[in-house]
Amino acid sequence: MMKAAFVFLADEATHNWAARQTLRFHQAAGLGFEANRLPYHLSLKQPFSIDDLTAAEAFFDRFAASVRAVKVSFQKLACWPSEIFGYPSGVLAFQAEKSPQLAALHTRLNKELEASFGPCPAAFDGDAYTFHMTLSIGGGGWEAYQRAYERFKGGFEGAEAVFDRLALLYYHGEPILPGSYFCYKQAKIL
């Protein structure tokens, strides 16, 4: 089973800033660097099943040509539990403000995917979608994530980031395992 996800990729300054934060969190709590298998990104649609990578890529090309770079404000550092890799761990991410621009793009992407491929459900679709940039996932136990969060939870409110590329992420197989996904394609957006 193949899956794809659509994400905005961080510009150079945002990437470098996020990498410094990731390293700080790791040094404080031993969280590892699993999230860094992918470039720093703001997800527009979580992984969804695809039957044909070539068709998904053609759709991506059309969609990317109509999208512009986005500037986001982060509301806070967020932490939640995760067992995505089969053991109790966590996620540290910067939660982004849900701007009208991001919400409209998420809705539009879902509608256009459905018009092209039929239903393409993914986790967290719809009004409840939380835009975020993951800094760390897996690699440490849940307690380590809680320690890092408690130490660093303040001070990120209002930090701004620019995302100037759109990317198509590819996931091979279910469940999602380390090494089973990568950034398949990127497109510079103006």
Q: Comparing C-alpha atoms, which of 159, 12, 163 is closest to residue 77?
A: 159
Percentage of the chain exceeding pLDDT 90: 85
Residue 175 pLDDT: 82
Give the mean pLDDT of 71-83: 95
By the 10 Å C-beta count (0-12 exposed, 13-18 middle, 19+ buried), 44 is classed as buried
Three-state DSSP class for residue 17: helix
What domain count does the chain have? 1
Residue 173's domain spans which residues? 2-188
Residue 85 pLDDT: 83
Taking the model in full, what pTM does it have? 0.93
Residue 1 pLDDT: 86
Residue 16 pLDDT: 97
The predicted-structure confidence for 124-177, as pLDDT tens digits, reads as follows 998 889 999 999 998 899 999 999 999 999 889 999 999 999 999 999 988 888
Buried b (16+ CB within 10 A) or exposed e, 106-136: beebbeebeeebeebebeebeeebebbbbbb
CATH of the domain at 75: 3.90.1140.10
| Confidence category of residue 47, pLDDT binned at 50, 70, 90 | very high
